[in-house]
Amino acid sequence: MKKITKCVIPAAGMGTRFLPATKALPKEMFPIVDKPVMQYLVEEAIAAGCEDIIIVTGRSKRAIEDHFDSNPELEQRLDDSGKFDYLRKVKNLNEMANIVYVRQPYPKGDGDAILRTKNLIGDEPFLVLFWDDIIDNDVTAAEQLIRKHEETGSSVIATVWVEESEVSSYGMLEWELDGDTTRVTKFLEKPQAHETDSRTAVIGKYVLTPNIFGYLENAKSSCGDGEIRLADAFIDMQKDTDIYGLEVQWVRYDTGSKTGYLKASIAYALKHDDLRDEILDYFKSIM
């Protein structure tokens, strides 16, 4: 079985939910405390064994490339002023992985974004991480997915359990048990709650086998808006081949929503020894 060494991070979406903040600033560059969400994703991919990170960007996303580039003036200034801790953090960014960028010229959906990486991925399974989800666990979600892929040899979709009221916001998986693994029997993209008994929702982390590209090439836009979604490919792929769902452990933050983003910011701030007490005091004072 081929080892997973490549990760695709789709980052061309406009971030409409966070306007006007996303007018000039890519949503992937929003900080959680002092690191942009994109850096959390790149670190997650590296910790899971990836060596090549392919970021699919679009117009007005230059800040992502600048973040992982060098900044000689800044580095010199930090060096001159003896701020070596910051210097190390800044310099590490352009050494952490081999990062390449692919542009998606038109907003044609997350499936189209992934299809644009086909020639770079070749005939290998690969990891996909979307910016919307951060899983807080020592064993990252990427590692959990890759382990399951190594067991099954199939594509694996990260899932979480959701309330009935949230069903229509997610891709939903119906599944059966195969040993201790959940094999997908049906993929439904944002169904109404009465259309499925499942509460197993798809989140933005996957291991995909390379046959996904054929399904993406042939996928028809299910929403009739011309966009090709990864979900469209899954619906067809599931009919021909095994796909597994994996309920990722543990805490999940939906950074694609305002409340999820704020919760992640607070939770990660509380992990910083120099911030924790002041934040807790502040909450006590306003409760």
Residue with smaller CB distance to ligand G1P, 6 or 229: 229
Pick from 12, 184, 231, 246 the residue near ligand G1P by CB under 6 A.
231
Query: By rule CB under 6 A, what string of x and - marks binding of each residue 201-220 to ligand G1P?
Result: xxxx----------------
Q: How far is the CB of 279 from ligand G1P (least distance, A)?
A: 28
72-to-58, 66, 67, 78, 180 alpha-carbon distances in Å:
25, 12, 12, 10, 51
Which class for 227: exposed (0-12), middle (13-18), buried (19 or more C-beta within 10 A)?
A: middle
Asked if the peptide bond before residue 161 counts as cis, ω within 30 degrees of 0, the response is no
Residue nearest to ligand G1P (CB): 171
Least CB distance to ligand G1P at residue 189 (A): 6
CA distance to 117, 118, 210, per residue, from 146 (Å): 19, 20, 14
| Nearest CB to ligand G1P, comparing residues 6 and 232 | 232
**Binding string, 70-109, against ligand G1P, x = CB under 6 A?**
----------------------------------------
In angstroms, give the least distance from the CB of 220 to ligand G1P.
15
In this chain, which of 40, 126, 131, 170 binds ligand G1P, going by CB under 6 A?
170
> Structure tokens of 54?
């392919």
Sign of the C-alpha dihedral computed for residues 266, 267, 272 and 277 taken in this order:
positive
- Distance CA(141)–CA(202), nearest Å, equals 13
Out of 10, 15, 36, 171, which residue is the one contacting ligand G1P (CB under 6 A)? 171
Contact 28, 130 (CB under 8 A): no
Q: Using CB under 6 A, which of the segments 3-11, 85-93, 135-143, 198-206 binds ligand G1P? A: 198-206
Closer residue to ligand G1P in complex, CB, 146/201: 201
In the complex, least distance from residue 72 CB atom to ligand G1P, rounded to whole angstroms: 37
Beta-carbon contacts of 149 under 8 Å, excluding residues fewer than 6 positions away, are 4, 125, 155, 156, 207
- What are the start-end ranges of the E strands in the chain? 6-10, 31-32, 35-36, 52-57, 98-103, 126-129, 133-136, 155-161, 171-178, 181-189, 200-208, 243-247, 251-254
What count of other Cβ atoms lies within 10 Å of the Cβ of residue 24?
Answer: 8
Amino acid at 216: L
Instruction: Decide whether 87 or 201 has the Cβ nearer to ligand G1P.
Output: 201
Q: How far is the CB of 190 from ligand G1P (least distance, A)?
A: 7
Judged by CB, which is closer to ligand G1P: 78, or 198?
198
160 lines the binding site for ligand G1P (CB under 6 A): no
Residue 189 in contact with ligand G1P, rule: CB under 6 A: yes
β-bridge mates for residue 59, sequence order: none
Which residue in 67, 108, 229, 252 binds ligand G1P (CB under 6 A)?
Answer: 229
Please report how close the Cβ of residue 277 comes to ligand G1P at its closest, in angstroms.
34
User: Cα 125–106–167 angle (5° rounding)?
Assistant: 65
The contact set with ligand G1P (CB under 6 A) reads 132, 170-171, 189, 201-204, 229, 231
